[in-house]
Amino acid sequence: MKIAVLGGDGFVGWPTSLHLSDAGHEIHILDNLSRRWIDTELGVQSLTPMDSIQERTRVWHGETGRRIHFHLIDLAKDYELLKGWLARHRPDAIIHFAEQRAAPYSMKSDRHKNYTVNNNVNATHNLLNAMVELDLDAHLVHLGTMGVYGYSTVGAAIPEGYLPVGIETMDGRTVSQEILYPSNPGSIYHMTKCLDQQLFAFYAKNDGLRITDLHQGIVWGTHTEQTRRHPQLVNRFDYDGDYGTVLNRFLIQAAIGYPLTVHGTGGQTRAFIHIQDSVRCIEIALKNPPQRNSRVEIFNQMTETHRVRDLAEMVARMTGAQIAWLPNPRKEAAENDLVVKNEKFLNLGLAPTTLGEGLLEEIVDVAKKFAYRVDRSRVPAVSAWTRDIAAKVEHDPEGRRLKSVS
Ligand code: USQ
């Protein structure tokens, strides 16, 4: 297949591009490199040293003889460029990762809120619009988030996208319907993924587009089979308070002797998936497209659920790290249960990689190897969800006053 990977320079986009190239597909990465600019804005860098996208694809070609093509395009801003590219290349499938994906970054300021909404919603809409205009029958696979559901405890498992409901009619009958599970975003970033869902539902209904939305949990790990093949193919690995995600952060913190930054009681339960499974799921989704004129296909792309404090205690046991119980910079439930259905991927052959498989040590080893690149002052999460909360988040675990509230 000829596959366009939008956002193919990012944390999941890059290993997905390698995985699919390895499987024999023709890969075209479209990316505006915004993630690299955001590193510059925040004054942070990936724990792992990353080469330019051109250098990465050159090394891949040298290793495998396979070419990955790169096109510098901003989906949100360059509609005509995107449309022109799609008209010329007419890919069989499009994987859409090209969105700002960090909740804390999206909550940093009014400017960051605007950027996240404008970037994410316009990128998705420009793409759908161009596909219809060009009569392009490509299968669109989108990286959504488990966060569209919210994490509330309702005593029932979260279904894969759709919820059966009974609606009472005016003449006293009950009609059954399946609706999108009520969205309940916890950040501006998560809200943009809820808006994406509405765009997909409309374009599938109105124009018959074939769309799969993958509601992914928190990704952990860094290497995949392909990124291990050469030091310059290494994936990016974020540890800072905006882009680092919880388990990877704890592992890096343990490696550099920094207290593990648990927010609140650590009672938040979240869904997780290893990066290797993430790229496998995307391949499975590509092989199982929905029919034209059917509703959006939705998969829950996660393999396990864990409570944040259990993860911290596990990492502390494994490494001897200290735990810092910090005021929570986010507005979220202090404690929640989470049960998620994920039978669709399991039935299609996914064999989950779980936390107990020795991969945690591998991440600590990677973190130790590159510990010299870590700026400890960028570890605390300083982005507060409201002004009231900002006033409470005063010091980092090492006792320094945080800049954002000074
Ligand atoms: N947390 C801590 N300490 C930390 C970092 C986070 O206790 O140092 C807590 C947070 O308060 C939160 C939980 O851990 O309760 C998860 O935070 P996270 O930063 O790991 O994940 P999140 O902000 O939800 O976002 C990440 C990805 C996003 C993806 C989402 C999937 O950045 O792109 O969509 O995970 S999900 O969480 O299932 O919605």
Q: Report residue 391's pLDDT band, with 50, 70 and 90 as the boundaries.
A: confident
Give Cα separations from 335 to 122, 180, 267, 268, 332 (angstroms). 34, 25, 4, 5, 9
> Which residue, 355, 356, 363, is CA-closest to 255?
363
- Nearest CA, atom 22, ligand 1: 103
Average pLDDT over residues 102-124: 98
What does the alpha-carbon distance between residue 121 and residue 98 come to, in Å, rounded to a whole number? 10
- CATH number at 192 reads 3.40.50.720
Q: Is residue 342 a contact partner of residue 215, using CB atoms and an 8 Å limit? A: no
pTM > 0.95:
yes
Give the Å distance between the CA of 330 and the centre of ligand 1: 10
What does the alpha-carbon distance between residue 392 and residue 146 come to, in Å, rounded to a whole number? 28
Residues with a catalytic annotation lie at: 145, 189, 193
User: Could you give the number of structural domains in the chain?
Assistant: 1
What does the alpha-carbon distance between residue 89 and residue 30 come to, in Å, rounded to a whole number? 12
Alpha helices by DSSP H, listed for 234-303, are 246-255, 275-287
Tens-digit pLDDT profile for residues 264-320: 999 999 999 999 999 999 999 999 999 999 999 999 999 999 999 999 999 999 999
Q: Which of 263, 269, 304, 383 to mutate to test the pocket of ligand 1 (most atoms within 8 A of CB)?
A: 263
Give Cα separations from 349 to 285, 288, 334 (angstroms). 11, 12, 35
What does the alpha-carbon distance between residue 39 and residue 150 come to, in Å, rounded to a whole number? 28
Structural domain for 326, as ranges: 2-405
Give the Å distance between the CA of 245 and the centre of ligand 1: 5
pLDDT at 406 > cutoff 50 = no
Tens-digit pLDDT profile for residues 223-248: 999 999 999 999 999 999 999 999 99
* Predicted local confidence at residue 403, as pLDDT: 54
* Predicted local confidence at residue 404, as pLDDT: 47
Give the Å distance between the CA of 308 and the centre of ligand 1: 9
Atom number, ligand 1, closest to the C-alpha of residue 193: 34
Tens-digit pLDDT profile for residues 145-186: 999 999 877 889 999 999 999 999 999 999 999 999 999 999
> Which residue, 61, 18, 302, is CA-closest to 9?
18
